[in-house]
Amino acid sequence: MKHATGWAMAIGILTFATTDVASEGDPTRRATRLEALGLDASSGFSITSYTVESGVYYRWRIESDGLEEYKLLAPGLFRESWIDQVVIDDREVKPFGLHAVEFDDEGAIDIWFMPIRPGIYEYYVEGLETQGFSGAFTVQ
């Protein structure tokens, strides 16, 4: 009985220790929340510039006013990032890659991602770039 109790304690301690170490080394444990990007028919993007770090996990919320249909593209950023998930109305999509997100109505989309390669990456609404719907991510 003493051996069984000793083994149980040892396994419990090892499990706790490895779980603690694993969570410290897991960059997706907690996302850094970026300021939400608003898409407004009268003024364009609420934010035209983000600065982020390579290897850091982020949540990017994009909110549409619903007055127009918006197809937001960020092909370079999405290509040079690991996309963990896209959340729409509490439904998660685990994509292999991402090219664009599109809004037909008012709502929000959350993109959980980790940029990999430093650079400057544009994001824009196709066809509305000259009306305030263009911006850039600087990945350091």
Asked if 55 and 122 sit in the same domain, the reply is yes
Poorest-confidence range of 2-6, 12-16, 118-122?
A: 12-16
- CATH number of 58's domain: 2.60.40.420
Is 59 in contact with 32 (CB distance < 8 Å)? yes
Is the sign of the CA dihedral 13, 15, 16, 20 positive or negative? positive
Confidence class of residue 17 from pLDDT cuts 50, 70 and 90?
very low
Asked if 91 and 110 sit in the same domain, the reply is yes
**Residue 45 sits in which domain range?**
32-139
Asked if 132 and 73 sit in the same domain, the reply is yes
pLDDT tens-digit profile of 73-125?
A: 999 999 999 999 999 988 889 988 899 999 999 999 999 999 999 999 999 99
Asked if 13 and 73 sit in the same domain, the reply is no
pLDDT tens-digit profile of 30-73?
A: 899 999 999 999 999 999 999 999 999 999 999 999 999 999 99
**Does 81 or 1 have the greater pLDDT score?**
81
Domain count, the chain: 2
Q: What is the DSSP letter of 129?
A: G
Average pLDDT, the chain: 86
- Model pTM score: 0.79
pLDDT, residue 26, reads: 72
Asked if 8 and 53 sit in the same domain, the reply is no
pLDDT, residue 15, reads: 41
pLDDT, residue 96, reads: 86
pLDDT, residue 29, reads: 76
Asked if 10 and 78 sit in the same domain, the reply is no
Selection from 99, 133, 134, 136 nearest residue 121 by Cα? 136
pLDDT, residue 129, reads: 95
Q: Please compute the mean of the pLDDT values over residues 114-140 and round it to a whole number.
A: 96
Asked if 84 and 124 sit in the same domain, the reply is yes
Q: State the Cα–Cα distance between residues 28 and 21, nearest whole angstrom.
A: 14
Asked if 70 and 4 sit in the same domain, the reply is no
